[in-house]
Amino acid sequence: MRDILRNHSFSVAFVIVIFGFFFLFPGDDEEIYHLRGFTMGTSFDLQLLELPAQITQQELEQQVSEILQRLDLELFSTYSPQSELSRLNQAEVGVPVAVSPEVIEVMQLANEIHLLSGGAFDVTVGSLVTLWGFGPDSNLLQPEAPSQADIDLLLDQLGHEYLVISEARSQVTKTAGIYIDLSGIAKGYAVDKLASFFDSLLISSYFLEVGGELRIKGLKPDGVSWVPAIERPVDTAPQIFEVLYSNGEEIAVAGSGDYRNYFEQGGVRYSHEIDPRTGRPVTHNLAAAYVIDKSAARADALATAFMVMGFEAAKDLAERENQAVYLIYRGVADDFDAYFTESFSAFLTER
């Protein structure tokens, strides 16, 4: 696969930005139905070309609310003490915990990406994320770099291999005192579940976003593409870095970056992207990674993995897997350059 590199030096202010993506709405969008709210500690924005004929608007909103509430509070939340994930984290080592098919599905996919990325994606990294001050109670803490001894202690208790997943029995068993955090895959999974729901209602076109993870299908009312745009990876006012065109295809898009969530101590910048192989925040030159896939959950996990791996390793894996990937990295003079695979390039021009 040929390498595709692009240098960027422009910046443009625009309309809406959430977690790495701008959502561009040129023209009048009165024909688009919007459903907005909050879930999984973030926001969601669901845009539909039409409402289904078989249920009312109120029924549609209620069913969407039930889907998101189940995925968040009942299954994947680390904040809700009664969620299946919380019960699993609280369970004794060696005691099987009954979980729903959705939890099994997400953990199996997480294991797939863990193996594919050489351990860069690991849902048991939660204890290290907390140690570095980026966990569920991070708003209550003044983050500071932990000692190497504390890092080593948790590294000894970390690893996807300490999870035994039984699909036949719908059970997950921890074989060590690990802490599981599915935040790097659960939002994408929620988008996939919403897409399946709207597909079952025969919705022909939609733009679904949960915490910046996207599922896109069809075209807008005027026959043009849904248009997300990648944010320039800086923690200042939002700026457009690259515009994407869905071109009517059914795709999922997810991104990850190190430029919004970090702290500084002693002149050193510590990113929230923790490498589970070292126990420390990443220090490479990769600033953001974006993935296009059929599954938002898979794109979500891969984007996180690529951010941990760094530019060269992420580039090599993307090419080997023929994955549609867009990488923004710090080049000369601290400016940004971009690399994207050939399969991603199809979405950088409108057809």
Domain boundaries, the chain: 11-74+185-266+275-309, 84-174
- The confidence score (pLDDT) of residue 238 equals 75
Show the tokens assigned to 330: 């710090």
- The confidence score (pLDDT) of residue 184 equals 92
Show the tokens assigned to 152: 């080593």
User: Is the Cβ–Cβ distance between 113 and 301 less than 8 Å?
Assistant: yes
3-state secondary structure the chain: CCCEEEECCCCCCCCEEECCEEEECCCCCCCCEEEEEEECCEEEEEEECCCCCCCCHHHHHHHHHHHHHHHHHHHHCCCCCCCHHHHHHHCCCCCCEECCHHHHHHHHHHHHHHHHCCCCCCCCEHHHHHHCCCCCCHHHCCCCCCCHHHHHHHHCCCCHHHEEEECCCCEEEECCCCECCCCCCHHHHHHHHHHHHHHHCCCCCEEEEECCEEEEEECCCCCCCCEEEEECCCCCCCCEEEECCCCEEEEEEEEEECCCCEEEECCEEEECCEECCCCEECCCCEEEEEEEECCHHHHHHHHHHHHHHCHHHHHHHHHHHCCEEEEEEECHHHCEEEEECHHHHCCCCCC
CATH of 11-74+185-266+275-309, one of 3.40.190.10, 3.10.520.10, 3.60.21.10, 2.60.40.10: 3.10.520.10
CATH of 84-174, one of 3.10.20.340, 1.20.1050.10, 3.30.390.50, 1.10.3980.10: 1.10.3980.10
- The confidence score (pLDDT) of residue 28 equals 44
**pLDDT tens track of the chain, all 351 residues?**
334 444 332 222 222 333 344 444 433 456 899 999 999 989 999 999 999 989 999 999 999 999 999 999 999 998 899 999 999 999 999 999 999 999 999 999 999 999 999 999 999 998 898 888 887 665 545 678 899 999 999 998 899 999 999 999 999 999 999 999 999 999 999 999 999 999 999 999 999 999 999 999 999 988 899 989 898 887 777 788 999 999 999 999 999 987 667 778 877 777 888 999 999 999 889 999 999 999 999 999 999 999 999 999 999 999 999 999 999 998 876 689 999 999 999 999 988
Q: Distance between the two ends of the chain, CA-based, in angstroms?
A: 22
- Cα–Cα distance, 224 to 74 (Å, whole number): 38
- The confidence score (pLDDT) of residue 21 equals 44
- The confidence score (pLDDT) of residue 164 equals 97
Work out whether strand 21-24 and strand 33-39 pair parallel, antiparallel, or are unpaired: unpaired
For residue 208, count other CB atoms closer than 10 A to its CB: 26
Show the tokens assigned to 13: 């202010």
- The confidence score (pLDDT) of residue 44 equals 95
The CA-atom distances, in angstroms, between 294 and each of 198, 285, 291 are 16, 28, 10
- The confidence score (pLDDT) of residue 138 equals 58
The CA-atom distances, in angstroms, between 206 and each of 7, 15, 49, 195, 309 are 32, 19, 6, 8, 32
